[in-house]
C-alpha cells in the first residue's frame, strides 16, 4: 500500500478543496519529501489519477494574477472519503507498514475518534507481539541465534524492531488515553496545513519558486 495516496487525500481533505501546489507545500511543511515518496511528480500524478478513479473531484478555477494556465482545485468525493479512512486505519493497525505509511497514519490519526485510534494501535501492539513470538519460535536455534553466525544478526534486527515498535506504540496509546491531542468530535482540531500563499519555512532549497508557476496544472506527470 502506497503512502502517497493517503498523504494526498489527507492533505486535500484538511483544506476542503486544494490545488496541487497547496498539497505539495503542506507535505513539504511536514517533511514528507524526506521520509516518503511525496515528491512533486508523485503528488501531481496522484491527484490526476485519483480524479480519474473518482476519489477526487477536479474544479478548474481562474488563472492567478501572475498569469499561467487555470489552476485545478480538488476535493474528496464520497468514494474518496471512504478510501481515505480505509487507508488511514490500515496504516495504523499493521505491524509492519513501511515507515512512510505509518508516518502518514500518525499524521492523520486525529481524524478518527479517540477510542477507535486507541483500539487500532492496541491491535498493532498485539500483531507485533504475535510476530515476535513467531520469529523466535520458528527461527531461533536451540543454541541461540549466534549458532547462525552473522546471519543471526537478522534475527536480532527483527526482534529489536518488534520490541521497539511495540514500546513506541504503547507510549502513544498512553498519551492518547491520557487526553493528549484533539480527536474527531472533540472540538477544534490542530491546524497542520498552510494557508494558500503562506510561505513554508521548511521548504527544500529548490522549492523557492513562485506558487503560480509551480502549480502546473499542473506539474510533472510522473509517479516520482
In the structure grid, which three cell numbers stand for residue 103, read together? 508516518
64 DSSP 8-state letter: P
Instruction: Quick: pLDDT tens for 87-120.
Output: 999 999 987 767 889 999 999 999 999 999 999 9
pLDDT at 59: 92
What spatial distance separates the first Cα and last Cα of the chain, rounded to whole Å? Answer: 16
**Among residues 117, 85, 103, which one has the least CA distance to residue 30?**
103
**Residues linked to residue 95 through DSSP beta bridges, in sequence order:** none
On the question of pLDDT at 221 being above 50, the answer is no
Max Cα–Cα distance, the chain, nearest Å: 73
More confident residue, 47 or 202: 47
DSSP per position, 23-36: HHHHHHHTTHHHHS
Instruction: Please tell me the pTM assigned to this model.
Output: 0.80
In the structure grid, which three cell numbers stand for residue 188, read together? 477544534
On the question of pLDDT at 165 being above 90, the answer is yes
CA–CA separation, 56 and 50 (whole Å): 6
CA–CA separation, 81 and 132 (whole Å): 34
Amino acid at each position: 500500500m502506497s503512502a502517497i495516496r493517503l498523504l494526498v487525500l489527507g492533505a486535500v481533505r484538511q483544506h476542503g478543496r486544494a490545488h496541487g501546489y497547496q498539497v505539495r507545500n503542506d507535505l513539504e511543511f511536514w517533511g514528507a519529501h524526506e521520509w516518503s515518496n511525496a515528491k512533486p511528480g508523485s503528488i501531481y500524478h496522484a491527484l490526476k489519477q485519483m480524479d480519474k478513479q473518482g476519489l477526487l473531484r477536479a474544479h478548474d478555477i481562474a488563472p492567478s494574477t501572475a498569469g499561467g494556465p487555470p489552476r485545478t482545485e480538488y476535493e474528496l468525493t464520497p468514494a474518496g472519503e471512504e478510501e481515505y479512512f480505509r487507508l488511514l486505519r490500515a496504516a495504523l493497525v499493521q505491524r509492519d507498514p513501511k515507515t512512510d505509511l505509518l508516518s502518514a497514519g500518525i499524521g492523520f490519526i486525529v481524524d478518527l475518534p479517540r477510542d477507535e485510534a486507541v483500539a487500532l494501535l492496541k491491535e498493532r501492539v498485539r500483531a507485533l507481539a504475535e510476530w515476535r513470538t513467531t520469529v523466535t519460535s520458528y527461527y531461533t536455534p536451540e543454541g541461540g541465534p549466534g549458532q547462525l553466525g552473522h546471519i543471526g544478526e537478522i534475527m536480532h534486527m527483527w526482534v529489536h524492531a518488534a520490541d521497539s515498535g511495540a514500546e513506541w506504540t504503547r507510549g502513544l496509546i498512553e498519551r492518547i488515553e491520557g487526553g493528549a491531542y484533539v480527536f474527531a468530535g472533540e472540538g477544534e482540531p490542530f491546524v497542520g496545513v498552510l494557508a494558500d500563499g503562506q510561505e513554508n519555512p521548511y521548504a527544500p532549497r529548490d522549492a523557492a519558486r513562485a506558487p503560480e508557476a509551480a502549480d502546473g496544472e499542473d506539474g510533472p506527470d510522473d509517479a516520482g
